[in-house]
Amino acid sequence: MTTKNLDIANRERLIFALDVATLEEARSLIAKLDDSIEFYKLGLEVFLSGHYFELLEELKGRGKKIFADLKLFDIPATVAAAVRQLARHQVDFCTVHGNDSMLRAAADAKDKVQILAVTALTSLDQGDLDDLGFQCDARTLVLSRAKRALALGCDGVVSSGLEVKALRQYADSRLITVCPGIRPVHNDSSEQDDQQRVIGPYQAIAQGADYLVVGRPIRTASDPHAAAESIQQEIARAFSDQAGNADKH
C-alpha cells in the first residue's frame, strides 16, 4: 500500500456524500451521523435545494470538512471565478470536470482549496466509454487525465478504487486520490445502484486510496451511524494490517 499524507486522520478519510433534496433531510442525517463522519461531500442535488451555503456554513461550524463536488465545467474564466467563490467559503476540496485550460484556471485560482480533477465517472462502464468516443479502457483514460491534472497544478483526482493502484505507481505521494463507488460487503440497502466500477473500503485503502466517498450505503442503511462506523473500522483495519506487514519486513 502506498498512500499520500499519512498524517491524515483516519476518520477524515471517509467522506459522506450528502445527496439529499432538502435542508431538513440533510440536517436529519447530520444529526444521526454525529461523530461518525468528519468530512462531507456536497453535490448538485443539495446545491439545488437552495440551501447549499447555509448547510456548508453549518457544517463548518461543527468543525467538519467540506468537499464541494460541483464538477465545474465552463469557460476557464468562469471556472476560476467559481473556484474563488468556493475559496471564500473555505471549502476543502472542489471538483473540476474539463479540459486543460479549465483545470489550469481552477488550479491558478484555488488559494487554499484543493482541486480534484474528475477522471472517469464510476457510473460508466466500458460500453459507456465507447459511446462517448473514448478509444481506450477506463484505466488508460484515468491515468491520462491524472497525468494532465498533476502537470496543470491540480492537487488530486477522483477515480475508481479499481484504478488507484496504477495511479500510485505513476504519481505516488504527489497526488491525492479520492475514490467514490465504494460498496461495503455487508450493505443492508436494497436500493438499486447505478455504480459500475466499485470496490470495498478495505480494498480501496489497501490499493492506495487517500479518501473514500460513500453515500447510498450509509444514507439508506437502517442505522446510518452504525453503517458509517463499520466503514471507519474497515479503514482502520487496513492501516493496522499495513503497519503489521511493514513490521514483518
Q: What are phi and psi of 145, to 5 degrees?
A: -70, -35
Active-site residue flag, 71: yes
CA distance 55 to 163: 32
CA distance 176 to 211: 8
Cα 92 versus chain centre, distance: 11
Report the run of H or E that residue 213 belongs to, with start and end. strand 211-214
Which residue pairs from 155-158 have beta carbons closer than 8 angstroms and sit at least 24 positions apart in sequence? 155/110, 155/114, 155/115, 155/116, 156/93, 156/114, 156/115, 156/116, 156/117, 156/210, 157/116, 157/117, 157/118, 157/119, 158/95, 158/116, 158/117, 158/118, 158/119, 158/213
Catalytic residue among 41, 71, 165, 248: 71
CA-based radius of gyration for the chain: 17
Nearest 5°: the CA angle 230, 235, 240 is: 120
Q: In which residue are the cell numbers 468530512 written?
A: 39
- 74's CB contacts (< 8 A; 6+ apart) are 82, 98, 102
Give yes or no for a contact between 13 and 212, defined as CB atoms under 8 angstroms apart.
Answer: yes
Which are the catalytic amino acids?
Answer: 71
